[in-house]
Chain A
Amino acid sequence: MALKFPGWNFLRKHWLDLMLYLAVLALAVTGLCLLPVFFSSGEAHVLNINVDGTIVKTVDLARQQEEEHFEVEGTNGPVTIGIKKNAAAILASPCPEQYCVRMGWVDDGRPIVCAYSHVALLFVSNGDVDVIL
Chain B
Amino acid sequence: MKKSSLLFTLSLGAVLGLFSCGGTADGSSSPVLSQPWPGEMGGNIDPEQSTTFAFDTLLYITTYHGETAVHDEIIDTLQKLDSLFDPYNAPVPGLTSVYSLNNAGGEPLAVDPLLYEALQDALEAEEATGGLFNPLIGKATALYKEAFYGEGHEPYLPDMDEVQSFIEEASGSSLVLGENYTVQIQGGAFIDLGGIAKGFALDKTIEILKSHGVCDFLIQLSGSSIGLGNNPERMDQGGTFRVRINTYVGDNDHILSARFNGLSTSATYEQQVMFGPDRYSHIINPQTGSAVCPNDIGVVIGDIESNAMLDAFSTAVCLTPGENLAALDESLNEKGYDVGLFAMKDGEDVYLSDGFEISGVELP
Contact = CB atoms under 8 A, between A and B. Distances in A.
Interface of A: 50, 52-53, 96-99, 103, 108, 110-111, 113, 115-116, 118, 120, 126, 128-133
5 contacts: A52-B53, A53-B52, A129-B243, A129-B255, A131-B241
B248 to A, nearest CB: 10
B218 A113 contact: no
A96 B222 CA distance: 19
Nearest to A98: B149
Report the 6 A-B pairs with minimum CB-CB distance, sorted nearest first.
Answer: A97-B149, A96-B151, A129-B244, A130-B241, A113-B58, A131-B243
Given A120-B58, A130-B218, A133-B245, A115 B271 contact: no
Contacts of B149: 96-98
B246 A103 contact: no
Nearest to B241: A130
Given A99-B271, A113-B58, A120-B58, A130 B242 contact: yes
B220 interface: yes
| Secondary structure of the A contact surface, majority rule | loop
Contact of B244 (A50, A98, A126): A126
Interface in B45-94: 50-53, 56-58
B357 to A, nearest CB: 15
B150 interface: yes
A110 B243 CA distance: 12
Interface string B219-249: 0101100101001011000000111111000
Contact of A131 (B58, B242, B271): B242
A119 to B, nearest CB: 9
Contact of A118 (B53, B222, B241): B53
A110 B244 CA distance: 10
B57 to A, nearest CB: 5
Nearest to A96: B151
B265 interface: yes
Given A103-B270, A113-B57, A133-B223, A108 B246 contact: yes
A108 B150 CA distance: 29
A128 B243 CA distance: 9
B209 interface: no
A131 B150 CA distance: 31
A116 B58 CA distance: 10
B299 interface: yes
A5 B45 CA distance: 58
Contacts of B58: 111, 113, 115, 120
Q: Which of A98, A103, A111, A131 has the most CB of B within 10 A?
A: A131
Given A113-B222, A129-B255, 18 more contacts: A50-B51, A53-B50, A53-B51, A53-B52, A96-B151, A99-B271, A108-B246, A111-B58, A115-B53, A120-B58, A130-B231, A130-B233, A131-B218, A131-B244, A132-B246, A133-B223, A133-B245, A133-B263
A133 B246 contact: yes
B57 A110 contact: no
Contacts of B57: 113, 115
Contact of B56 (A110, A115, A130): A115
A118 B57 CA distance: 9
Contacts of A98: 149
A130 B50 CA distance: 16
B226 A133 contact: yes
Contacts of B242: 128-131
A35 B343 CA distance: 42
A65 to B, nearest CB: 24
Nearest to B265: A133
Contacts of B233: 130
Contacts of B53: 52-53, 115, 118
Nearest to B52: A53
Contacts of B52: 53
Interface in B136-154: 149-151
Nearest to B240: A130
B299 A133 contact: yes
B51 A133 contact: no
A45 to B, nearest CB: 16
Nearest to B228: A131
A133 B150 contact: no
